[in-house]
Structure 1
């Protein structure tokens, strides 16, 4: 068995900043209400004409990650692309990235695990590298939420939370002692309807939506049972983090940097307090970007690394929980 290691990180967010005050002009909300419930102050949204899309942002983040890994697109053996907001219903974003980067005919795999998508994707890349099948894998998490949100008072419970952006890492074969130590994945499908988007889909095509639903009940906007999701998230986050630590004979005290999925600052703060971690042991940037779903962990990982908060030899833990419900963790010796 080979070892796998993250050798390059990168991220990209649109230049267009949307503050809570900006949203208050579109719906019945305000800065205090949003910050109290989510911790979010602003987020980035794609702006019409800026040339961005889910795949384009993924490419921009990937170029930075490749440069930092001292690799070119032709060095990549596989793409794993995580998103819930692809440019097209099909094909997925992976092949678009492959084309835009001018890569050879490598496999491209799309992962649809929403907020847990990046953790699942890292696990996939880790296994392909460790078994010796591939040497360098490009893993991307990218989202364009702003194009599919309800920016009226009806949709404020969801729409104030989400933002656009992308993050990417290169997972490479390594002979070092450092690297990805283990990954841990779970799901609980009985709660699939508590955080979901019904259509458009094969069960809810556009003509059916228009014909069968009044305008005030459009099922192609996301639905979230916020309190229910929160209660489950804080339990599963702690469980899967501890599962990873125990599998590698570590405790919470050994964590140098925990990067949780940026779902809600209150969730991160709850987990930090529950695990008795200091502010220096947890990285949050949801205040600036909102919840970018599959992109949130790689964006945060890239920012933390750029800020010097992750150093060689550090124990880094990634953890996510989201729609499905799905959740997971990654334990890394950086």
Structure 2
């Protein structure tokens, strides 16, 4: 919109998140991780840290960026459209209780000690919504621009869960070679997942000039959306 309206000719879009610093680990825990010669953790502290393992192993630190420039050539390339939807009725199935504008200071030692920076997630509920909403919004946006799923050259989804992405691709009827994932390498880097995936897809020759690429994501709120681009 900024480019089409003439407000900007070049836009730098950045997605970046660091999760390790918000893990509910004490100074002693970090010391044990990076200075093993200091000895093992006390049983109580090890048990407290371990209760969040099922969530913390899902996330990774990452950053990605994309540059968009004004394009006057009539070749159909660029961002074709986007669609964003949300439903606050599902706000309690995925959220972070601590941090953000609802707290002063935004993050404190007390919040980290209370594990308020660890996401609260109903995995089954998120799975059910993700495998329906992401395919739905992808189809809708394609249809708005006169395309169908068969016209897609590549689908890039938010890298939260490989099973979700595999199920969503199956719902769309897409062959595995038309879907790009890298969660197996980095985990869920949240806002960095889409630019990281697109960079790697281009580097591996899976997103060529002229290809029709769809991006889709679902996250806390609950919100979900899609962007359609001709590379």
Task: Give the shorter-chain TM-score range.
Answer: 0.7 to 0.9
Structure 1 residues 127-178: Cα deviation after superposition (integer angstroms, max 9, x where no partner): 0001111100000000101111246221122101100111100111101321
Q: Distance in 1 between matches of 2:21 and 2:189?
A: 13
Which residue of 182, 185, 192 corresponds with 1:295? 192
> For the structure 1 residues 166 and 210, does the alpha-carbon distance in structure 2 shift closer, same or farther, using more than 3 Å as the test?
closer
**Corresponding residue of 1:131:** 5
- Secondary structure of the 2:210 match is coil
Moved more, 196-205 or 312-321: 196-205
Q: Distance in 2 between matches of 1:173 and 1:200?
A: 37
Return the index of the structure with the highest Cα Rg: 2
Contact 1:261–1:297 (CA<8 Å) still a contact in 2? yes
Tell me the CA shift for residue 241 of structure 1: 0.4
**Corresponding residue of 2:20:** 146
**Corresponding residue of 2:135:** 238
Contact 2:135–2:169 (CA<8 Å) still a contact in 1? no
Unaligned runs of 5+ in 2: 26-48
Q: Distance in 2 between matches of 1:149 and 1:225?
A: 19
Q: Distance in 2 between matches of 1:134 and 1:163?
A: 32
Tell me the CA shift for residue 288 of structure 1: 0.2
Tell me the CA shift for residue 205 of structure 1: 4.5
Unaligned runs of 5+ in 1: 1-126
Normalising by structure 2, we get a TM-score of 0.83
Q: Please list every run of at least 4 consecutive aligned residues from structure 1 whose deviation after the TM superposition is greater than 6 angstroms.
A: none
Contact 2:14–2:64 (CA<8 Å) still a contact in 1? yes
Q: Distance in 2 between matches of 1:324 and 1:194?
A: 9
> For the structure 1 residues 286 and 205, does the alpha-carbon distance in structure 2 shift closer, same or farther, using more than 3 Å as the test?
same
Structure 1 residues 2-57: Cα deviation after superposition (integer angstroms, max 9, x where no partner): xxxxxxxxxxxxxxxxxxxxxxxxxxxxxxxxxxxxxxxxxxxxxxxxxxxxxxxx
**Corresponding residue of 2:60:** 163
Which residue of 220, 240, 251 corresponds with 2:117? 220
**Corresponding residue of 2:160:** 263
- Secondary structure of the 1:130 match is coil
Tell me the CA shift for residue 221 of structure 1: 2.1
Tell me the CA shift for residue 242 of structure 1: 0.5
Structure 1 residues 59-83: Cα deviation after superposition (integer angstroms, max 9, x where no partner): xxxxxxxxxxxxxxxxxxxxxxxxx
- Secondary structure of the 1:244 match is helix
- Secondary structure of the 2:58 match is coil
Normalising by structure 1, we get a TM-score of 0.58
**Corresponding residue of 1:248:** 145
> For the structure 1 residues 219 and 182, does the alpha-carbon distance in structure 2 shift closer, same or farther, using more than 3 Å as the test?
same
Q: Is residue 185 of structure 1 aligned with residue 84 of structure 2?
A: yes
Q: Distance in 2 between matches of 1:194 and 1:181?
A: 32
Structure 1 residues 242-261: Cα deviation after superposition (integer angstroms, max 9, x where no partner): 11110111111111010001
